[in-house]
Structures are given as structure tokens and as C-alpha cells.
Structure 1
């Protein structure tokens, strides 16, 4: 049997159950980063966590569900780290720079999470054989950046452009930055983030008003 939630006929998980799930998710991240997605069996994840495979099955119905929770947990952690920095920025232009810099800062300290996400995105497929975590999976990220651009345009800080197009462009730049760093760990991630932030600022900022 698995712990049930209070809604939909299921009970709310206890603190101990939540802690155990977090432990399993962290072990899954470490195992995938170490041996790859295909070799990260539930048995290996359980060994890494110092528990039995049956404990994982108690909390997660399958490897697929565990992988989904890994993705959710990592994205939640990133949002919790980056969100306050953007909110604290004095304006939308500074918020855009903060977004790019702070995501890089977070990933610098969580490389295993980056490697695990990359492996999950590559190998997770829908029943139809399509990538489970494709562009559509980034919709919340696009919406957040798009909202930042719209606010900045309303404040006159950004030039006129399609906020969705630019949001996709910014995220593509961030994804490319992390992909390169994953392949070349000695790459200067912070410098890359600074260059990307500067390029995106130059591409989006409003032109100064002509002198009278």
C-alpha cells in the first residue's frame, strides 16, 4: 500500500513520509547523475538511499512516477531560489539579468540536478513514443519570463517585441548554457551567464528617447 492524500479519497502524507520521499528523490538524482537514466534502476536508487526497493514502491508507483517527482522537485527548488531575486530586483531589466544570473548560480551548486534533468528529458517518452518533457513542458517558465517582459514593456523599459518569442529565446539561451556546461565542466558558467544576460538586455531594452 502507498500513502494516500486527503483529497480524492487519499490521506495527507505525514512529515516522516514526506521526508522519506525527499530522501528517495535525492537518491534518484544522485544515481542518475552517476550511472545514467537507463542504469538507474529502482534497486540501485534504493541502495543509494540505504533502503529496500519495497520502500520506494510504497511511495512511488513506478520509476516513471519517481522521475516525474524528480523533475517537479528540481523545478520547484529552482523557482524558490530564483523567484525572490527577481522580485527584489528594482525593475524588469534588472529582473531579467537576475533571472539568468541566479539560475546559473543555483545550478553551479546543484550540478547533479542538472545532469539528472538532462538524462530524464532525453529518455522519458510518452506511450506514443514522443518526448515527455519537450517544449510544452517549459510552458510555466515561458509564462514567467513573458510576464516579466510585459511588465517591463508597460513600464517603458523594454522595446516593443513579442514577449513570447523573446521568452522562448531567453530560455533557449539558458538551456544552451547549461548544455554546454554539462559537456564541459571547466567552462566558466558565471561568465557565460553574464554574457548571456548582457546580450538579452541589449536585445530587449528600450532605445533612449531622442534628445530634444
Structure 2
């Protein structure tokens, strides 16, 4: 029930905070226990809520909550990567920034991305949409680099898929080895991408 004596601004801030609390709790449950076990009861317990009714106040149903998690996490992920990539001009530098930014976000949002990976594994439509956007953007960058002579001759979409797959591979590892050395992985991945696209070691 809404607090009758609070102002619209206060209600908005309070509701935003509660909504964020629920999303974070759902991420924790999915990352730790799996998407299939992410019931409202488990999420409410993780969030320290007295009732699942506090979840249904903010989300129409379980799918609404799940969709919100994917949308919020992937929007933040894309924004983080785009900011780093857009700060560079040359295609090779932009590609290196893409890889580095991905690993930075994974390092600070491991559970969020593991949760999204688990969610999208059960939704072919959602997974395909996210993958296509990533691969299309990578392919465009690789084509640009080839046109400018920074990258060797190769099939751009195939290489884009390979880079995207290596990025997702570490998420699967982190779901079972949360303490895996991401610093070493970032170095090796950046080296592999540079070798694959230009034959030069960064």
C-alpha cells in the first residue's frame, strides 16, 4: 500500500529504491541458485522483505521482473562499453577498448551477467536479440578496420562471432569459478584478438 502522507517525489524515490533492491536480490538468487529456483518467495527472503506482495507491487509477474533484470543489466553493460569504445578513434584501438571494457564490466558485475546468461539460456528469442546486436556492432567495426588497412583480410562476421563467444565463455567459467583470474584472461583475450585481426601483439 502506498504511504498516503508522502509526497509524489518521496514515493518515487522510495519506490525506485525498493525496485532496485528487488532486482539486486533477484540477481543474487539467480546467480547463486539458478534461474529455475528464482521464486518470489526466495527473492523476498534474499531482499529481507516481509511479503512477496512487495514484489508484485512493483512487478506485474515473475516475467516482468526477469525482463527488467535483463533490460537494466544489458543497458548498463552496453552504455559502459560504448563510452569506452567511443573515446577511441582508430578501429584497432576501438576494438581493444571493446574487449577491455567488456572485461571491466564483467569484473564489477559478475553476478549480474551470470544471472542474465542463465536467464537467456532459457529464452532463445531474448538471447538471439542480444547476440545479434553485439555481433552486428563488432562486424561493422571489423569491416571499418579492414577498409582503413588496420586489419588483415578475414571474414568479418565469423571473427565477430568468435570474439563474442570468447567473451561469453568467461561468463560460463565464472558461474562455476567465481574467483577466476580475470586480469590474466583480459590480457590473453586482448592478445588473441589483436593477433586474430592484425597479427600484431599489443
Q: What residue in structure 1 maps to residue 36 of structure 2?
A: 38
| TM-score normalised over the length of structure 1 | 0.78
The offset of 1:136, in angstroms, is 4.1
Q: Matched residues in 2 for 1:95 and 1:19: separation?
A: 35
Q: More helix per residue: 1 or 2?
A: 2
In structure 2, the gaps of 5 or more residues are 2-10
**TM-score, length-scaled by structure 2:** 0.81
Q: Paired residues, what number?
A: 190
Residue 27 and residue 15 in structure 1: after superposition, are their counterparts in 2 closer, same or farther (change >3 A)?
A: same
SS at match of 2:151: coil
Q: 1:17 to 1:139 in 2, by over 3 A?
A: farther
Distance 1:137 1:157 in 2: 27
The answer to which of 38-47 and 14-23 deviates more is 14-23
Tell me what 2:80 maps to.
Answer: 81
2:130 corresponds in structure 1 to 137
Matched residues in 1 for 2:161 and 2:128: separation? 9
Moved over 4 A (4+): 13-16
Q: Match for residue 7 of structure 1?
A: none
Structure 1 unaligned spans of 5+ = 2-12, 126-130, 208-212
Give the drift of 1:42. 0.8
Q: Provide the C-alpha distance between the structure 1 equivalents of 2:151 and 2:12, rounded to a whole number of angstroms.
A: 47
